[in-house]
Amino acid sequence: MNIIVAGAGEVGVHLAKMLSREKHNIVVVDQKEDVLENLNSNYDLMTVLGSPTSLSALKDAGCNASTDLFIAITPEESRNLTACILAAKLGVKKTVARVENPEYLHPEQKAFFEQLGIDSLICPEILAAKEIADSLVRPWVRQWYEFNNGTLILIGVKVRAGANIIGKELMNLFTHDESCRIAAIKRGKDTIIPGGRDIIQTDDMVYFITTREHVDTVRKMADKPHTEVHKVMIMGGSRIAMLTAERIAEQFDVKILEVNKERSEKVKERLGSKAMVILGDGRDIDLLHDEGIEQVEAYIALTGNSETNILSCLAAKRFQVQRTVAEVENNDYIPLAEGLDIGIVINKKLIAAGHIYQMMLDADVSNMKCLTFADAEVAEFVVKEGAKITKSKVMDLRLPENIGIGGLTRDDKGIIVYGNTQILPGDRVVLFCPSTYLRKVEKFFK
Minimal CA–CA distance to 300: which of 134, 162, 445, 446?
134
Q: 71 in a domain, yes or no?
A: yes
Question: Does the pLDDT of residue 343 top 90, yes or no?
Answer: no
Average pLDDT of every residue of the chain: 87
Domain enclosing residue 440, as ranges = 356-445
Average pLDDT over residues 307-333: 90
- The distance in angstroms from the start CA to the end CA of the chain is 17
Predicted pLDDT of residue 378: 76
What is the C-alpha separation between 378 and 429, in angstroms, rounded?
10
Positive or negative, the CA dihedral 231, 237, 241, 243 is: positive
Collapsing DSSP to helix, strand or coil, 33 comes out as helix
Nearest alpha-carbon partner for 22 in 44, 48, 46, 47: 44
Same domain, 245 and 288: yes
Nearest-CA neighbor of 276 among 237, 238, 303?
Answer: 237
Same domain? 386 vs 423: yes
Beta strands 190-192; 152-158: pairing state: unpaired
Please, which pLDDT band fits residue 370 given cuts at 50, 70 and 90? very low
Segment among 16-30, 137-151, 215-229, 349-363 with least mean pLDDT: 349-363
**What is d(CA 147, CA 214) in angstroms, rounded to the nearest whole number?**
15
Confidence class for position 398, pLDDT limits 50, 70, 90:
confident
For the cut 60, the answer to whether the pLDDT of residue 173 exceeds it is yes
Q: Percent of the chain, pLDDT > 70?
A: 93
Q: How far apart are CA 221 and CA 242, in angstroms?
A: 36
Q: How far is CA 131 from CA 206, 222, 230, 407, in A?
A: 19, 22, 18, 24
Query: In this structure, which long-range contacts are made by residues 59-65, counting pairs with CB atoms below 8 Å and at least 24 apart in sequence?
Result: 59/90, 61/4, 61/27, 61/29, 62/2, 62/4, 62/27, 63/4, 63/87, 63/90, 63/91, 63/92, 64/90, 64/91, 64/92, 65/91, 65/92, 65/93
pLDDT > 80? residue 443:
no
What domain count does the chain have?
4
Q: What is the mean pLDDT of residues 59-71?
A: 95
Cα separation, 412 vs 32, in Å, equals: 46
SS3 content of the chain, % helix, strand, coil (to 5): 40, 25, 35
Same domain for 378 and 331, yes or no, is no
Same domain, 48 and 111: yes
Amino acid at 80: N
The whole-number pLDDT of residue 436 equals: 61
The answer to whether residue 138 sits within a structural domain is no
Residue 376: predicted pLDDT: 65
Residues 313 and 389 in one domain: no
Please tell me the distance from the alpha carbon of residue 184 to that of residue 193, in angstroms, as a whole number.
5
Task: Give the start-end residues of each E strand in 80-150.
Answer: 95-98, 120-122, 143-147
Whether the pLDDT of residue 290 is over 50: the answer is yes
CATH number of the domain encompassing residue 187:
3.30.70.1450
Q: Residues 389, 322: one domain? A: no
Q: pLDDT class for 439, splitting at 50, 70, 90?
A: low
Predicted confidence band at 277 (pLDDT cuts at 50, 70, 90)? very high
211 and 277 in one domain? no
Closest to 276 measured CA to CA, from 306, 305, 296: 296
Ordered strands of the 298-301 beta sheet: 276-279, 253-258, 231-235, 298-301, 323-327, 344-346
Residues paired with residue 282 on neighbouring β-strands, in sequence order: none
Asked whether residue 91 is assigned to any structural domain, the reply reads yes
Q: Which of 435, 369, 428 is nearest to 402 (CA)?
A: 435
Residue percentage of the chain with pLDDT more than 90: 48
Instruction: Tell me the HSE value of 67 on the side-chain side, using a 13 A CA sphere.
Output: 26
Q: Kindly report the CATH number assigned to the domain that includes residue 53.
A: 3.40.50.720
Q: Are 53 and 82 in contact (CB under 8 A)?
A: yes
Is the pLDDT assigned to residue 17 strictly greater than 70?
Answer: yes
Query: What was the pLDDT predicted at 367?
Result: 37
Question: Where do the DSSP E strands lie in 128-269?
Answer: 143-147, 152-158, 180-187, 190-192, 205-210, 231-235, 253-258
* Banded model confidence at residue 243, pLDDT cuts 50, 70, 90: very high
On whether both 272 and 285 belong to a single domain, the answer is: yes
CB atoms within 10 A of CB 422: 12
Residue finishing a domain among 298, 317, 351: 351
pLDDT of 48 above 70: yes
Flag whether 139 is in a domain. no
